[in-house]
């Protein structure tokens, strides 16, 4: 099962669900797909889409998934990586009105550079990441709090 999480931002992230739907249509994705959509309205006969679930249900769904495709939320990424999940990060981007700035891109880039996750910014990259994910061996998570604090300070200073 693939779990897609869009977080709780009050802005939609339709672009990611359109990418997932395209890859379902192309038969690149042939697994069950559950989506925590938050504020994003999207209709699909191929995905099980819900707004929010409680933390216990989320944890159970995360435990059951083979792949997590997620926005750039640090908490979601860290939780999944600590559990040894294979994660593909797709950042919300300001240029699409998905967020106020591009801090999620920087967060995902950092986790990708550290070897914890794969990343994608468009449907071709998501397709490539999905084709690589089975052979991907994520690094074991080690807290890097100082680097993340520096990253947050830079964003606050902008």
For 17-74, what is each residue's pLDDT tens digit? Answer: 999 999 999 999 999 999 999 889 999 999 999 988 888 998 999 999 999 999 888 8
Contacts of 132 (CB under 8 A, 6+ apart): 118
Relative orientation angle of helices 103-113 and 74-82, to the nearest 10 degrees = 20
pLDDT at 93 over 90: no
Place of tokens 């216990």: 56
- State residue 96's pLDDT score: 61
Pairing of strands 47-50, 118-119: unpaired
Lowest mean pLDDT among 5-19, 82-96, 123-137, 141-155: 141-155
Are the CB atoms for 25 and 11 separated by under 8 Å? no
Region 104-113: mean pLDDT is: 87
pLDDT band of 94, cuts 50, 70, 90: low
This prediction's pTM: 0.85
pLDDT, tens digit, for every residue of 112-151? Answer: 999 999 999 888 999 999 999 999 999 887 776 676 677 6
């Amino acid at each position: 099962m693939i779990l897609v999480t869009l977080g709780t931002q009050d802005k939609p992230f339709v672009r990611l669900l359109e990418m997932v739907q395209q890859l379902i249509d192309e038969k690149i994705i042939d697994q069950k797909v559950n989506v925590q959509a938050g504020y994003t309205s999207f209709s699909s006969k191929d995905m099980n889409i819900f707004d929010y679930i409680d933390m216990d249900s989320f944890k159970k769904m995360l435990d059951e998934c083979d792949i997590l495709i997620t926005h750039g939320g640090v908490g979601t990424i860290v939780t999944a990586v600590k559990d040894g999940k294979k994660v593909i990060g797709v950042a919300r981007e300001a240029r699409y009105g998905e967020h106020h700035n591009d801090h999620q891109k920087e967060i995902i880039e950092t986790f990708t550079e550290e070897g914890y996750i794969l990343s994608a910014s468009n449907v071709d990259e998501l397709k490539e990441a999905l084709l690589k994910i089975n052979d991907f061996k994520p690094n074991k998570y080690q807290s890097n709090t100082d680097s993340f604090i520096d990253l947050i300070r830079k964003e606050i200073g902008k």
